[in-house]
């Protein structure tokens, strides 16, 4: 059995896939890499198969699956004790896998995640040392869940910054939720019922710059996420925490409305 599986679920990833796979293969750790081509209509599969490396296994769906189902299938194909999910476009920085496996060597840790940086399409760093506010070091499930509700996905970082145990993934039933829901945050909260979260101070992942303004649908799914955690884990997430998270979303929705109204009055600012 491999120690670590790096799963790369991809849909019409095109050129974004090549640098992502290269950054994984350049790691010092001997990990298996599973690329699941989710019925892409571009050259995603061709690019994945162009890597002549026995560590890479490429699979393809005949029909496109919803995001959560595709991620679950990718992990079902893995053989490792530990799992990392990397989206095309994200980059693993040198030494990332070795450093995270060192942390996961502590059997009391269910999940670890590192800080991240933002890069542009050419790989230039736009911002670094991001994420994990008040989450560095060893934290229990209560602290993690409350932080996820209070701060949201943008502050936690990309899915590729985390590593979790395959047995815990199986125990909680994998990713769940509707399209647009915080699939990764929901999983991370649930697996940490079986152990501690460890926030790493190192910057180990780079994420492509993108529009981080949450859509109305995304805000709605985050609201559902808050209330689902509150209902399922009342011993960790009380009503006050859920209310605080809901208030944050209400402010984000108001900011979105104000931004849309400003753009309509001054359309040149949205160009």
Q: What is the pLDDT of residues 189-219, one digit of tens each?
A: 999 999 999 999 999 999 987 655 667 777 8
Residue 109, pLDDT above cutoff 80: yes
Rounded to an integer, the average pLDDT of 72-76 is 97
Q: Left if phi > 0, otherwise alpha if psi is -120 to 50, otherwise beta: which for 149?
A: alpha
Pick the more confident residue, 26 or 214.
Answer: 26
Q: Which residue, among 140, 141, 171, 146, has the nearest Cα to 226 in the 3D structure?
A: 146
Rounded to an integer, the average pLDDT of 19-28 is 96
Locate the domains of the chain by residue range.
Answer: 1-88, 90-211
Look up the pTM and report it.
0.89
pLDDT at 267: 47
Assign domain 90-211 to a CATH class: alpha beta
Rounded to an integer, the average pLDDT of 25-30 is 93
pLDDT at 262: 43
Q: Which CATH architecture has domain 1-88?
A: Alpha-Beta Complex (3.90)
CA distance 191 to 211: 29
Q: What pLDDT band is residue 178 in, cutting at 50, 70 and 90?
A: confident
Q: What is the mean pLDDT of the chain?
A: 89
pLDDT at 74: 97
Rounded to an integer, the average pLDDT of 117-129 is 92
pLDDT at 73: 97
From residue 268, give the alpha-carbon distance in Å to each of 211, 263, 264: 17, 7, 9
The kind and range of the H/E element at 255 are helix 239-265
pLDDT at 180: 72
Residue 264, pLDDT above cutoff 50: no
pLDDT at 92: 98
- Confirm whether 1-88 and 90-211 share one CATH topology: yes
pLDDT at 214: 65
pLDDT at 269: 39
Q: Give me the percent of the chain exceeding a pLDDT of 70.
A: 91
Q: Give me the percent of the chain exceeding a pLDDT of 90.
A: 70
Residue 263, pLDDT above cutoff 50: no
The kind and range of the H/E element at 113 are strand 109-119
């Amino acid at each position: 059995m491999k120690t670590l599986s790096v799963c790369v679920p991809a849909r019409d990833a095109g050129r974004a896939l090549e640098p992502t796979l290269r950054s994984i293969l350049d790691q010092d750790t001997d990990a298996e890499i599973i690329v699941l081509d989710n019925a892409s209509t571009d050259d995603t599969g061709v690019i994945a198969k162009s890597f002549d490396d026995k560590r890479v296994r490429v699979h393809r769906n005949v029909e496109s699956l919803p995001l959560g189902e595709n991620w679950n299938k990718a992990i079902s194909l893995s053989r490792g004790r530990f799992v990392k999910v990397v989206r095309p476009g994200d980059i693993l920085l040198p030494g990332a896998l070795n450093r995270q496996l060192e942390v996961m060597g502590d059997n009391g840790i269910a999940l670890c995640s590192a800080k991240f940086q933002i890069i542009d399409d050419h790989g230039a760093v736009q911002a670094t040392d991001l994420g994990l506010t008040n989450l560095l070091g060893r934290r229990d499930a209560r602290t993690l869940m409350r932080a996820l509700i209070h701060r949201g996905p943008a502050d936690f970082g990309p899915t590729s910054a985390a590593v979790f145990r395959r047995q815990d993934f199986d125990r909680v039933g994998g990713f769940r939720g509707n399209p647009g829901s915080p699939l990764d945050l929901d999983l991370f909260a649930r697996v940490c019922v079986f152990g501690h979260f460890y926030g790493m101070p190192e910057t180990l992942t780079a994420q492509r710059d993108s529009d981080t303004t949450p859509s109305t649908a995304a805000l709605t799914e985050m609201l559902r996420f808050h209330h689902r955690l509150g209902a399922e884990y009342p011993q960790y997430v009380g009503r006050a925490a859920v209310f605080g998270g809901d208030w944050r979303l209400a402010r984000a929705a108001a900011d979105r409305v104000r931004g849309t109204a400003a753009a309509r009055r001054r359309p040149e600012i949205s160009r």
